[in-house]
Structure formats: structure tokens, C-alpha cells
Amino acid sequence: MFVVCTGLWASMANAQEKFPNRPIDFIVPWGVGGGADQFARTAAPLLEKSLGVSIAVSNVPGATGNTGNARLQAARADGHTIAIYIADTAATISMGTSPYKPDDFDWVVRMQVAPSFYFVRQDDKRFKSFQELAEHAKKNPGKLKVAATGIGSVDDLTVRYFATKGISMTMVPYPKPGERYAAVIGGHEDVLYEQAGDIAQYLEAKQLRPVIVFRDKRLPEFPDVVAAGELGYEIRLPQWRSIVVKKGTSPDRVKV
């Protein structure tokens, strides 16, 4: 009897220690259709095969990613809730608009790094180059509108940087990526701050075109697009995307 009970106890203990032992909630703190959403929906089926449980992608947009972070912080620190954390949300820390700090998370992995661009509508004849866009903004302060992810984001910081150079534009926040893209394609806003991979379908369809890439040198994939470094602008802020869990999650589970 003792041997049977001991074996049963050991079996139950092993079952409790198994991780993951139920579906995982994968929080995307942004709307459907953007880079973070595409990343999560690409990664989820691969994770399902690796972990042996289903991965449910949940879009929780708002507050430049911090609404989704609030949902993560409300969950148990058991690894069954994970979230995407990106550069836009990190920027809100420096802006003082984030209720969370890096130490509120356990960082699992950084999956993507991509350079950022300014895009305009393909048929917008006002701006054949970024230099023309900059001159227009100087002559018409605040008139050009930049569709961005949110207040305190890297998009917002870039708009603020250009304002210090006399290139005054207005940042318009759109937490849902699809609405942000449509606003520029439809002519409601003038400029889109984004990464090329996120809007590949619109580039291929000739609906949007880049006018500047925020890096030191031009990209081989876009040889005709001027780099910020060429023009003397000290602004880069590439987009990166990571997976995080709530602080206090077991290191063994973070490793899994």
C-alpha cells in the first residue's frame, strides 16, 4: 500500500510540474494587421508544435501597448500568459507615460529588429523625396499629419525630433494598425511611420512608397530611399519585438 501511494504521489507531482499544462494566452498589445500581430500569428503555430499546447492570440490595443501590459500584469506569473513587448512601448518609459518598468517583466527573447521608415501615399505628387516633404513642413508648420502608433512611441519621438530641426508635423495616434494604414492610403493623413515588412502588401500594390529610412546608410532592398544619416539627422529608433512574461515567473518556465 505504501509503495502504491508513494508512486501515486510522485505521479501527481510530476503532472503538476509539467509546463505548459494548459493553453497559453499570447497577448498582442496592438490591433489586428500590424507587425506585432503578424509576428504573433506567425509564431503561435510554431510554438504550438514546440510546446504541445494551443496558443490563443489576443489583441488588446491601447495606451501605446500598455493596456495589453496591464492584462499581462493581472495574470498569474506562471508562464501561461505571454505578451509581445516592442520598442514603441519601451519609448513610453522615457516619456513618463508608462506605468510599467522593464523590471516588471521577465524577458524571454527578442525576435525581430527592423529599420523604420516614413511612407507617403504612392500618388501623392507633393513629395517626390523626403527633402520636399521637409520643406513643405517648414513652410506649413503643423499642417502635415503623421499617422503613428501612439503618444510616447518611437513614432512620436521621431516627430518631436524633427520639430527641433524646424520640420514641424502633427502626430496622430492610431492604436489599430489597419486604421493607421488606411488613413494614409485614403489621404486623411499625410505620412506613415512604419517598418517595410509590416506593410509589404501595400508596397507591392503600389499604394505606399518610402521617402526616408531611419538608419545610417541606405538599405540594399531600397537603394533609392535616402537614409537619415545621409542628411545629417541623428534619429534611428528601429523597431524591435520581444516576448515577455510577468515578473516572478519561474526561470525554468522562462527557459522552456
Average of per-residue pLDDT across 45-73: 96
45 and 143 share one domain: no
Surface-to-core class of residue 103, CB atoms within 10 Å of its CB (0-12 exposed, 13-18 middle, 19+ buried): exposed
Asked whether residue 15 is assigned to any structural domain, the reply reads: no
Flag whether 214 is in a domain.
yes
Structural domain contains residue 37: yes
CA–CA distance, 157 with 238 (Å, rounded to integer): 12
CATH code (residue 211): 3.40.190.10
* Residues 202 and 245 both lie in one domain: no
Does 39 fall in a domain? yes
- Residue 14: band (very low, low, confident or very high) from pLDDT cuts 50, 70, 90: very low
Overall number of domains in the chain: 2
Give yes or no: residues 74 and 158 share one domain. Answer: no
What is the distance between the alpha carbons of residues 36 and 85, in angstroms, rounded to a whole number? 9
How confident is residue 95, by pLDDT bands cut at 50, 70 and 90?
confident
Is residue 12 one of the residues assigned to a domain? no
Please give the average per-residue pLDDT across 124-145, as a whole number.
97
Same domain, 211 and 246: no
* CATH number of the structural domain spanning residue 85: 3.40.190.150
How confident is the model at residue 93, as a pLDDT? Answer: 93
The pTM (predicted TM-score) of the whole model is 0.85
Same domain, 60 and 133: no
Residue 121 shares a structural domain with residue 50? no
Domain co-membership, 132 together with 196: yes
C-alpha cell at 11: 505521479
Co-location of 134 and 85 in the same domain: no
Q: Is the domain of 210 the same as that of 160?
A: yes
Q: Among all chains, which residue has been given the C-alpha cell 506593410?
A: 199
**In-domain check, residue 17:** no
Q: Based on the fold, state whether residues 121 and 92 are members of the same structural domain.
A: no
Q: Is residue 233 domain-resident?
A: yes
Q: Give pLDDT tens digits for 70-81.
A: 999 999 999 999
145-203 pLDDT, tens per residue?
999 999 999 999 999 999 999 999 999 999 889 999 999 999 999 999 999 999 999 99
Q: What's the CA gap between 102 and 12, in Å, rounded?
A: 36
- Whether 77 and 157 map to the same domain: the answer is no
pLDDT of 94? 86
Amino acid identity of residue 188, one-letter, is H
Q: Is residue 229 part of a domain?
A: yes
pLDDT of residue 8: 52
Round to whole Å and give the CA distance between 70 and 238.
Answer: 24
- Confidence at residue 170, expressed as pLDDT on a 0 to 100 scale: 98
Same domain, 50 and 149: no
Domain residues for the domain of 175 are 116-237
Percent helix, strand and coil across the chain, each to the nearest 5 = 40, 25, 35
Which residue bears the cell 489576443? 58
